[in-house]
Amino acid sequence: MSSFNQSRYPLLDGPTPLTRLKRMEQKLGAPHLFIKRDDHMHLALGGNKLRSLEFWVGAALEERADTLIAAGDPNSNQCRLTAAAAAVAGLDCVIIHNGERNDWGLKASYPSHLLGAELRFVGPMDEARRAAVVNDTADKLRAQGRKPYVIGNAVLGALGYALAAAELLSQTQQNGYALRHVFLPGSMGPTEAGFIFGNALLGNPFEVHLVSVEYGQAELAARIAGIYDDLQHATEQRVPQFETLPIHFHMDYLGDGYGVPTERATQAIYALAQTEAIFLEHTYTSKTFACFMDMATAGTLPPSEGMCFIHTGGTPALFSQFDLFEKMPAGA
């Protein structure tokens, strides 16, 4: 499981911290609450995509690429961390932003600029059209004699979180923690599918709770199941069928859609900051942590079965989301 026979370029400085949320336990009156700090990495303020980028950059270098191409909105965690990975690997980086080149877009994408990436703003568009722009960009770079590598292969990227599952289990056992339930944002799929696949290879020591921040349950489950099945074929590892796994979907925290704040998520941002001095952002982590807090107090999980929130990062986005805080929630 340690290599999956894939090239891997090291971007993490050892395991990320697993810590107990002692003040949050006091606030909620719930025991055994933990956080896995994947926002606590030494490159570019960290985030889940660095785990995927170890495999993406490894593949790029194996193909003798000289340029990484990534796409996302100006706040994109993946874009910023691709720029960071390119910088330390000695590669060029082109980032396609499906947004306007305006004051907000330039400020939100400034970390990628600092890291040396070439930023191209192509205006608002859906994922399919953005993918076409990325492919066209790659073709034009090849015509210029360059060797681009497009970031985003879901199966390859998922390998990073398959290893993260083993890392979390090792930390849990070494520290003697009672930890059973793991909470992740439910979105594009590689992070979720990778962790679920790694968990399955380990014999499912964790129950996985996915909090949708983007899709309805049917689409979310189909995306993750597809990557999970492809991982089986790519790694030639035998694992149980997706439908039999200990996965729980939480659909009540999406609100009005992707990136749209909810009152409960905003309260979660304040709660974690004011108890543990840890920052969340509106798009992914706050909605997931809101569910985590509710489940900790709902009484539906056995108190002896600890809960872990995996903080997938994206913290820099918080500082361009100031206008999303309409008012400080009562009791914050």
Residue 13 domain-assigned? no
CA–CA separation, 307 vs 17, rounded Å?
A: 15
- pLDDT interval class at 329 (50, 70, 90): low
CA–CA separation, 327 vs 267, rounded Å?
A: 10
Query: Per the structure block, which two tokens stand in for 51?
Result: 């785990």
Dihedral (CA of 163, 169, 172, 174) sign? negative
- pLDDT interval class at 1 (50, 70, 90): low
CA-wise closest residue to 87 among 100, 70, 73: 70
CA–CA separation, 52 vs 60, rounded Å?
A: 12
Residue 50 domain-assigned? no
- Cβ atoms of 207 and 249 within 8 Å: the answer is no
Query: What's the pLDDT score for residue 121?
Result: 97
Task: Verify that 313 and 188 share a domain, yes or no.
Answer: yes
Domain count along the chain: 2
Residue 57 domain-assigned? no
CA–CA separation, 76 vs 47, rounded Å?
A: 11
Residue 26 domain-assigned? yes
- pLDDT interval class at 31 (50, 70, 90): very high
Beta bridge pairs of residue 67: 92, 148
Which long-range contacts (C-beta less than 8 Å, at least 24 apart) are formed by 235-238? Answer: 235/4, 235/5, 235/159, 237/1, 237/201
- Cβ atoms of 70 and 57 within 8 Å: the answer is no
Domain C-terminal end among 146, 166, 181: 146
How do beta strands 33-37 and 18-20 pair?
Answer: antiparallel
CA distances from residue 9 to 79, 128, 324 in whole angstroms, order as listed: 17, 29, 37
- pLDDT interval class at 326 (50, 70, 90): low
Residue 329 domain-assigned? no
Q: Is the pLDDT of residue 324 over 70?
A: no
CA-wise closest residue to 212 among 278, 165, 265: 265
CA–CA separation, 307 vs 177, rounded Å?
A: 10
**Residues 78-116: pLDDT tens digits?**
999 999 999 999 999 999 999 899 988 898 899 999 999
Task: Verify that 131 and 179 share a domain, yes or no.
Answer: no
Task: Verify that 273 and 204 share a domain, yes or no.
Answer: yes
Domain C-terminal end among 146, 163, 184: 146
- Cβ atoms of 276 and 248 within 8 Å: the answer is no
Residue 80's domain is classified under what CATH number?
3.40.50.1100
CA-wise closest residue to 95 among 87, 113, 108, 312: 113
Task: Verify that 215 and 255 share a domain, yes or no.
Answer: yes
**Residues 276-318: pLDDT tens digits?**
999 999 999 999 999 999 999 999 999 899 999 999 998 877 7
Q: Is the pLDDT of residue 328 over 90?
A: no
Task: Verify that 308 and 203 share a domain, yes or no.
Answer: yes
- Residue 307, helix vs strand vs coil: strand
Domain extent for 198: 18-45+154-324
Decide: pTM greater than 0.75: yes
CB atoms within 10 A of CB 274: 13
Beta bridge pairs of residue 207: 181
Q: Is the pLDDT of residue 163 over 90?
A: yes
Task: Verify that 225 and 252 share a domain, yes or no.
Answer: yes
Task: Verify that 303 and 168 share a domain, yes or no.
Answer: yes
Task: Verify that 74 and 138 share a domain, yes or no.
Answer: yes
Q: Is the pLDDT of residue 45 over 60?
A: yes
| DSSP-derived secondary structure letter, 202 | T
- Residue 80, helix vs strand vs coil: helix
Residue 74 domain-assigned? yes
Dihedral (CA of 139, 63, 110, 321) sign? positive
Provide mean pLDDT across the span 182-200.
Answer: 97
**Residue-averaged pLDDT of the chain:** 94
Task: Verify that 169 and 240 share a domain, yes or no.
Answer: yes
Task: Verify that 199 and 304 share a domain, yes or no.
Answer: yes
Query: What's the pLDDT score for residue 114?
Result: 96
Residue 164 domain-assigned? yes
CA-wise closest residue to 89 among 114, 123, 56, 129: 56
Task: Verify that 219 and 142 share a domain, yes or no.
Answer: no
**Residues 247-260: pLDDT tens digits?**
999 999 999 998 88
Beta bridge pairs of residue 250: 211
Residue 81 domain-assigned? yes
Task: Verify that 188 and 94 share a domain, yes or no.
Answer: no
Domain C-terminal end among 114, 146, 178: 146
